């Protein structure tokens, strides 16, 4: 190679290098606005206390969470109280949500990423909108397909991996998609999933009785104190486990759903079984149990009455120190009981669906509460 040829080759290589650098710089400049979001928060400046409404809509359902007087409620369930902790966790996740990656997306590709609008025939995403107290939109996010990470226990299918992120489109953006750092699994447009599930918490039950639609008593259980065994009205001792099962239903009853349709609620309670329970603290619970649905849930309405005693009778031979200690414990317990009573009385305005397993221990007949006879006992004349 001559010197002249060598110089020509060097010049050509320099030209190619300059052209490549120019192309890379052009691409970097063109992508700079999109890439600037990577590592930053998706919804800048979002504050928990400013959000007054959360709306979620997918291909089949709609959810609207509204905040009134500092408390969250589910609009689609006749403004029944929402699970405040779940709402808080979702909002905090949105506040901390960071962009991991961005990329352009064509209209034809959106369904593949489950980023079509909720009304689309296929590939619909979940639309999430946040609104402030003045009705102004704070954020509009179209949530799409979740991204999973394979683990040793995940199995052969990618769908069995652990969700670690999610594709979404922010605002009215239609030309690019963002991958965020949280799968936002709680963002479901299912009203029943957002309800506060606590129903009644009857403490220290003293008696419980059930009456059928015809007014006939089905069973009646009672005891003198918490340390006494249960007795059946009409004589005889019940199977203690079955008696306790009935009491346990009252001590920790959770709702499955709220019935928003008054006609459906009324239809379900035309001929109810009435269960009445009284506690040692003077609180009375009345449950009206209606028909069972096709998915094994019962219609139920509740009412709560009475009030815990205001004073405590001192024990025999109680010292002044013991009295002071017991009086303090009694006062603290009464405050807690009154708070629970106030919450439960507010629940009287709705009708509920409660799972069969939580209700049927209260629906037994007296004979079903008796101890089962052993095989040799059944053979006796």
Instruction: Count Cβ atoms below 10 Å from residue 64 Cβ, excluding itself.
Output: 20
pLDDT surpassing 80 at residue 355: yes
Give pLDDT, residue 23. Answer: 37
Total length of the chain: 381
Q: Residue 368 is encoded by which pair of tokens?
A: 């079903």
Average pLDDT over residues 28-48: 71
Give pLDDT, residue 15. Answer: 45
Q: What is the pLDDT of residues 40-69, one digit of tens each?
A: 889 989 999 999 999 999 999 999 999 998
Q: What is the pLDDT of residues 303-331, one digit of tens each?
A: 999 988 888 888 888 888 888 899 899 89
pLDDT surpassing 70 at residue 1: no
List, as one string, the DSSP characters of 231-285. EETTSSPPPHHHHHHHHHHHHSEE-SEE---HHHHHHHTSS-EEEEEEETTSEEE
pLDDT greater at residue 241 or residue 32 = 241
Give pLDDT, residue 376. Answer: 57
Q: Residue 13 is encoded by which pair of tokens?
A: 């290589």
pLDDT surpassing 90 at residue 127: yes
Q: What is the pLDDT of residues 203-213, one digit of tens each?
A: 999 999 999 99
Q: Which range scores top for mean pLDDT: 99-103, 285-289, 307-311?
A: 285-289
Give pLDDT, residue 21. Answer: 44
Give pLDDT, residue 377. Answer: 56
Going by C-beta distance under 8 Å and a sequence separation of 6 or more, which residues neighbour residue 184? 90, 93, 94, 97, 143, 166
Average pLDDT over residues 234-254: 92
Average pLDDT over residues 159-181: 85
Instruction: Count Cβ atoms below 10 Å from residue 340 Cβ, excluding itself.
Output: 18
**β-bridge partners, 81:** 73
First to last CA, the chain: 122
pLDDT surpassing 50 at residue 12: no
Contact 251, 202 (CB under 8 A): yes
**The pairing of beta strand 80-81 with beta strand 217-222:** unpaired
Give pLDDT, residue 148. Answer: 87
pLDDT surpassing 80 at residue 154: no
- Give the Cα-Cα-Cα angle 243, 244, 246 (nearest 5 degrees): 70
pLDDT surpassing 80 at residue 157: no
Longest dimension (CA), the chain: 125
Number of H helices and E strands in the chain, helices first, is 8, 19
pLDDT greater at residue 162 or residue 347 = 347
Q: Which of 203, 244, 234 is nearest to 364 (CA)?
A: 244
pLDDT greater at residue 34 or residue 323 = 323
pLDDT surpassing 90 at residue 85: yes
What's the Cα-to-Cα distance from 202 to each of 256, 282, 376, rounded to whole Å?
18, 11, 39
Q: Which of 336, 147, 173, 354 is nearest to 250 (CA)?
A: 354
Q: What is the pLDDT of residues 217-238, one digit of tens each?
A: 999 999 999 889 999 998 889 9
Instruction: Count Cβ atoms below 10 Å from residue 184 Cβ, excluding itself.
Output: 20
pLDDT surpassing 50 at residue 32: no
pLDDT surpassing 80 at residue 105: yes
What's the Cα-to-Cα distance from 76 to each of 55, 79, 226, 356, rounded to whole Å?
11, 7, 41, 24
- Per-residue confidence at 155, pLDDT binned at 50, 70, 90? low
Percent of all residues in the chain with a pLDDT value above 70, rounded to a whole number: 86
Give pLDDT, residue 373. Answer: 77
What dihedral angle (degrees, nearest 10) is formed by the CA atoms of 14, 15, 17, 19? 160
Average pLDDT, the chain: 87
Average pLDDT over residues 141-155: 79
Q: CA-CA distance, 287 to 276, in Å (whole number)?
A: 6
Q: CA-CA distance, 301 to 272, in Å (whole number)?
A: 10
Contact 348, 322 (CB under 8 A): no
Percent of all residues in the chain with a pLDDT value above 90, rounded to a whole number: 67
Contact 301, 275 (CB under 8 A): no
Give pLDDT, residue 359. Answer: 97
Give pLDDT, residue 13. Answer: 45
List, as one string, the DSSP characters of 50-102. GEEEEEEE-SS-EEEEEEETTEEEEGGGTTEEB-HHHHHHHHHHHHH-BEEEE
């Amino acid at each position: 190679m001559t010197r002249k040829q060598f110089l020509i080759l060097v010049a050509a290589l320099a030209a190619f290098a300059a052209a490549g650098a120019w192309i890379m710089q052009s691409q970097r400049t063109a992508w700079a606005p999109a890439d600037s979001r990577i590592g930053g928060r998706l919804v800048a400046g979002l504050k928990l206390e400013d959000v007054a409404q959360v709306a979620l809509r997918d291909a089949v359902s709609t959810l609207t969470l509204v905040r009134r007087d500092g408390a969250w409620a589910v609009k689609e369930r006749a403004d029944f109280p929402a699970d405040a902790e779940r709402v808080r966790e979702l909002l905090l996740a949105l506040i901390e949500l960071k962009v991991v990656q961005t990329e352009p997306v064509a209209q034809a590709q959106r369904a593949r990423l489950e980023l079509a609008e909720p009304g689309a025939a296929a590939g619909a995403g979940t639309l999430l909108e946040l609104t402030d107290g003045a009705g102004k939109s704070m954020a509009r996010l179209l949530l799409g397909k979740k991204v999973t990470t394979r683990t040793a226990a995940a199995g052969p299918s990618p769908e069995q991996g652990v969700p670690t992120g999610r594709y979404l489109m922010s605002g009215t953006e239609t030309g690019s998609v963002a991958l965020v750092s949280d799968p936002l699994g709680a963002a479901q447009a299912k009203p029943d999933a957002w309800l506060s599930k606590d129903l009644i918490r009857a403490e220290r039950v003293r008696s419980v009785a059930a009456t059928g639609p015809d007014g006939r008593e089905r069973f009646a259980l009672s005891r003198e104190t918490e340390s006494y065994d249960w007795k059946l009205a009409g004589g005889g001792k019940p199977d203690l486990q079955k008696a306790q099962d009935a009491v346990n239903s009252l001590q920790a009853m959770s709702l499955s759903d709220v019935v928003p349709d008054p006609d459906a609620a009324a239809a379900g309670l035309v001929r109810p079984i009435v269960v009445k329970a009284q506690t040692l603290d003077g609180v009375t619970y009345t449950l009206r149990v209606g028909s069972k649905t096709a998915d094994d849930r019962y219609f139920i309405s509740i009412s709560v009455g009475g009030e815990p005693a205001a004073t405590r009778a001192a024990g025999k031979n109680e010292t002044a120190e013991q009295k002071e200690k017991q009086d303090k414990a009694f006062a603290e317990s009464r405050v807690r009981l009154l708070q629970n009573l106030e919450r439960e009385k507010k629940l009287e305005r709705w009708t509920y669906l409660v799972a069969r397993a939580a209700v049927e221990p209260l629906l037994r007949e007296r004979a079903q509460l008796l101890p089962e006879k052993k095989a040799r006992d059944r053979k006796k004349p």
